[in-house]
Structure 1
Amino acid sequence: MGDVAMTVPVLLALTEKYPDLKITFLTKPFFAPIVSEIPNVGVFIADVKGVHKGALGLWKLFKQLRGMDVDAVADLHNVLRSNILKIFFKLNGIPIEQLDKGRKEKRELTSGKIKELNPLIPMYLRYQSVFKRHGFEFPVHNVHILEKHRLVADLGSSFFPKGKKVVGIAPFAAFSGKIYPLALMEILISELAAMKDVKILLFGGGQKERTVLEDWEQQYAGCTSVAGKLPFKAELALISNLEVMISMDSANGHLAAMYGVPVITLWGVTHPAAGFAPFGQSVENQIVSNRKEFPLIPTSVYGNKFPPGYDQVMKTISPEQIVKRVRQILIID
């Protein structure tokens, strides 16, 4: 989901420069709302668990796409499925350019050795380069963000009370190496909840996450869990109207960034030098674990690999550091 969100500023910049260009975005059904607001972008749903499953399913998918008179293909994913589709397109004379993920550079960056941090190419620029190889030259700037959603009455009154600055917190990630310790997260929530002008919205996914978020909702006034209560499109509407989002190195940070929301990102064994910092965010918004104490950081791109003892790296980020940055963004003394 974060990968899809990071394509948004690039697609906005592309369609601004080339308003006559028609784009069909191939994605899973859940991700469709992320790109559906971009001008000249239509969505084609890939049913990879059903009719488009396996090699035969991908052949069926290719035939459907070929029937749309596609002139060229930009593969922004570069995975097994898209590589199979690439073969079909090439055999039928349809030009295709593919994302360079920089796998070699990322392996070196996360080698488990002490090294200098030389930042890699940000992902949005890697996406941009795919279109450049097709002949489309265009700049991508911080202004290339989606407009905030207009909140319907129920969402506005329930989640955005008058006089409150609404802070989103997404405390979870796919892998443990990217998750801020829950005990410290609770301290952070308690300190933010104690601010009279602040309202907190908690974002998360599965049942275990919901249980934790609902427990915090019960304990801290002015703290509301959104998890499991709304359709994804409504969650996006809430995210677009936040004053600030506090996120792990995970999808919710990228979703907020595509609306220009300030995103404070907490980094564990991953690091923004790998190119996955949310779009348009300042260096001050990237709060990283202490590399003096844990010099091998980053040990992973995804947060799933780390040497013994490195599961503790995020304890070097204090709740006070995060609160200080929130206050700076919200302009609270």
Structure 2
Amino acid sequence: MENKNNKVLVLRLSSLGDIVLLSPVFKNIKAKWPDSKITLLVKEQFAQALAGHPDIDEIMVFKGFIPTLREIRAAHFTHLLDLHSTLRTMLLSLFSGIPNKQRYNKNSLARRLYVKFKMPSPALEKHTLEKYLEALKPWDIPIKYKTPDLNDWKFQAVDLSKKEVQNICIFQTSFLGDSVLTTPLIQKTAKMFPQAKIFVVTRPANVEIFQNLKEVHQVIIDDKRGLGKIFGVFKTAKNIKKCNIDVILVPHRSFRSALIAKLSGVKVRIGFTNSEGRFLFTKTVPFTWMIHDAERNLYLLQGIVNENFKSANLNMQGAGANAEDSVREMIKEAGLEGKTLVGVHPGSVWPTKCWPLENYAKLITRMEKELGVTSVIVGGKADLDLSEQVCRLSDAHPVNFATKTTLTELMALMKHFRLFVTNDSGPMHIATAFGVPTLAIFGPTTKELGFFPYGEGNRVVEVKGLPCRPCALHGGKKCPLGHFKCMKDITVDEVFDTAKEMLNIHNG
């Protein structure tokens, strides 16, 4: 009869984000051996954050090779699972004296061959989590749980009564899209702390996003341009301090953001464990790429309350009466009243995120001639030349609203679109926040990074199986390999067929 009172040691001496992915591993072990004891060996800086997982019985801290090996041997484990597969963990496994040992296949050789000689391998297409779970098969452990859930990690909340929280600050000074994806955090915070005033720190370009949210009491501007990146640190910290903030939540993961939070004097400062300034927070929560950014931000609240968050509601309020009146006038003057409109955003901050202009021109032409819709191009100052080129190349009659709308007016314009076609960009998130069916074209970035168009019915068109994707978190100025296949291999036919399908669904 199988002994279910097993003592299992799991080795993972990596970053916290990687460790968070292990949750399904623990759950599957416990499902097979409910009376087993699971010990997780981690680096010292992650021990506190990982404590409290319902399926982890003990956290063992790595204290150097020899002391740790002694501790392992003294504990008399029955099973060892190496989910790091480095020389150090392999040596710990070798000398551990544990009878049953398994190690996940890191495919180190395949990775080296790809980096050095660009030799692709099917092994590299598997997600790391899949490889972790495969390591359980020799122990005949069924895989019932396949995806991580941050609700598995029960963070110890700050001892702070909701009645004590009068002023909450949310710090987000990143790009437009990141700001839009912070709105569910603001709305959830307001719902959980109805008596509190919510302050938001953001860059000047994104003020309109937050000014139009009824939950926001005040917007504090952090101007990072020029010398403001350095001297603005103290100015912004001083402005936060004036507001008597009780709790500051920092989804932005830069060192500068964490430093400002610290200098502001706010007693409860909560950020992510992979923040460059994580040691400046009073509490950190694990970060993982396995969920959408809008949902991930909500978990910052688990630093102060013990509640579960299953999904984010990305739903922004109206953009304001003045902006809506202005947009209606623009539509009237452009002769667009009564027409089926498709929004198109061919630009991006990052050049490699842009689908070729001639492809957008061909798509716009086909959508007008075959589907009877009119394309409205949107964008900021940086997109003006690009949008004009698309119009010139097109054989249709697109209307170019690039640079003609403020951010608030762009938000008001969204509700007039039947579909929004875009690169991976800030306007993509605005469209989804207003419930516009969104078709996003992804090249250097992938859905797994967590910034895909959020919500049911939205679609991503991308090249599958290209081993160089993703090449960067945000994209780049040029393709590192020089071929730009991630965008060039996406055909007009593929995007058009997807757009047609989405329009038919929406019309139905």
Asked if TM exceeds 0.5, the reply is yes
Aligned counterpart, 1:126: 296
Q: Distance in 2 between matches of 1:187 and 1:289?
A: 19
Deviation at 1:262, TM superposition (A): 1.3
Deviation at 1:306, TM superposition (A): 4.7
CA contact (8 A) 1:159 1:201 kept: no
Q: Distance in 1 between matches of 2:335 and 2:463?
A: 32
Deviation at 1:168, TM superposition (A): 0.8
CA contact (8 A) 1:172 1:204 kept: yes
Q: Distance in 2 between matches of 1:199 and 1:264?
A: 16
CA shift digits 1:107-135 (9 cap, x unpaired):
xxxxxxxxxxx962321222111122122
My pick for the range that moved more, 141-150 or 321-330, is: 141-150
1:121 corresponds to which letter in structure 2?
I
Choose the corresponding residue for 2:446, options 257, 271, 277. 271
Q: Distance in 1 between matches of 2:224 and 2:386?
A: 31
Choose the corresponding residue for 1:135, options 305, 328, 335. 305
CA contact (8 A) 1:12 1:144 kept: no
Deviation at 1:250, TM superposition (A): 1.1
Deviation at 1:17, TM superposition (A): 3.9
CA shift digits 1:147-166 (9 cap, x unpaired):
45463241342458333221
Alignment of 1:312 onto 2:485 = yes
Aligned counterpart, 1:212: 386
- What root-mean-square deviation, in Å, do the aligned CA atoms of Structure 1 and Structure 2 show? 2.8
The 3-state SS of whatever aligns with 1:3 is helix
Deviation at 1:182, TM superposition (A): 1.7
**Runs of 4+ residues deviating >6 angstroms:** none
The 3-state SS of whatever aligns with 1:78 is coil
Q: Superposed, which structure 2 residues align to 1:199-238 within 5 Å?
A: 199-206=374-381, 209-217=383-391, 219-238=394-413
Choose the corresponding residue for 1:286, options 423, 438, 460. 460
Alignment of 1:327 onto 2:500 = yes
My pick for the range that moved more, 300-309 or 185-194, is: 300-309
Relative to structure 1, is the Cα distance of residues 125 and 141 closer, same or farther in structure 2, using a 3 angstrom cutoff?
closer
**Structure 1, unaligned runs of 5 or more:** 104-117
Aligned counterpart, 2:190: 15
CA contact (8 A) 1:13 1:144 kept: no
CA contact (8 A) 1:178 1:303 kept: yes
Relative to structure 1, is the Cα distance of residues 264 and 119 closer, same or farther in structure 2, using a 3 angstrom cutoff?
same
Deviation at 1:216, TM superposition (A): 3.6
Q: Distance in 1 between matches of 2:246 and 2:261?
A: 14
Deviation at 1:310, TM superposition (A): 4.2
Q: Distance in 2 between matches of 1:160 and 1:259?
A: 24
CA contact (8 A) 1:202 1:225 kept: yes
2:486 corresponds to which letter in structure 1?
V
1:210 corresponds to which letter in structure 2?
L
Alignment of 1:57 onto 2:227 = no
CA contact (8 A) 1:10 1:124 kept: yes
Alignment of 1:297 onto 2:473 = no
Relative to structure 1, is the Cα distance of residues 58 and 215 closer, same or farther in structure 2, using a 3 angstrom cutoff?
closer
CA contact (8 A) 2:428 2:438 kept: yes
Q: Distance in 1 between matches of 2:246 and 2:256?
A: 20
Relative to structure 1, is the Cα distance of residues 308 and 29 closer, same or farther in structure 2, using a 3 angstrom cutoff?
closer
CA contact (8 A) 1:264 1:286 kept: yes
Relative to structure 1, is the Cα distance of residues 17 and 158 closer, same or farther in structure 2, using a 3 angstrom cutoff?
farther
Q: Distance in 1 between matches of 2:255 and 2:298?
A: 21
CA contact (8 A) 1:142 1:280 kept: no
CA contact (8 A) 2:368 2:375 kept: yes
Q: Distance in 2 between matches of 1:257 and 1:303?
A: 21
Structure with larger Rg = 2
Name the % identity: 21
The 3-state SS of whatever aligns with 2:363 is helix
Task: Provide TM-score, normalisation by structure 2.
Answer: 0.56
Q: What is the number of residues matched between the two proteins?
A: 312
CA shift digits 1:259-288 (9 cap, x unpaired):
111111111121011111122144x60111
Task: Provide TM-score, normalisation by structure 1.
Answer: 0.83
My pick for the range that moved more, 180-189 or 11-20, is: 11-20
Relative to structure 1, is the Cα distance of residues 83 and 144 closer, same or farther in structure 2, using a 3 angstrom cutoff?
closer
Q: Distance in 2 between matches of 1:138 and 1:240?
A: 32
Relative to structure 1, is the Cα distance of residues 43 and 137 closer, same or farther in structure 2, using a 3 angstrom cutoff?
farther
Q: Distance in 1 between matches of 2:242 and 2:318?
A: 35
1:214 corresponds to which letter in structure 2?
E
CA contact (8 A) 1:300 1:306 kept: no
Aligned counterpart, 2:221: 45
CA shift digits 1:53-95 (9 cap, x unpaired):
2554322322221111110111121213212213314xx3611
Aligned counterpart, 2:154: none
Relative to structure 1, is the Cα distance of residues 328 and 102 closer, same or farther in structure 2, using a 3 angstrom cutoff?
farther
The 3-state SS of whatever aligns with 2:182 is helix
Q: Superposed, which structure 2 residues align to 1:109-258 within 5 Å?
A: 120-135=290-305, 137=307, 139=309, 141=311, 143-149=313-319, 151-152=324-325, 153-158=328-333, 161-195=336-370, 197-206=372-381, 209-217=383-391, 219-258=394-433
CA contact (8 A) 1:100 1:126 kept: no
CA shift digits 1:8-57 (9 cap, x unpaired):
1232233234332321000112201112222221211123348x825543
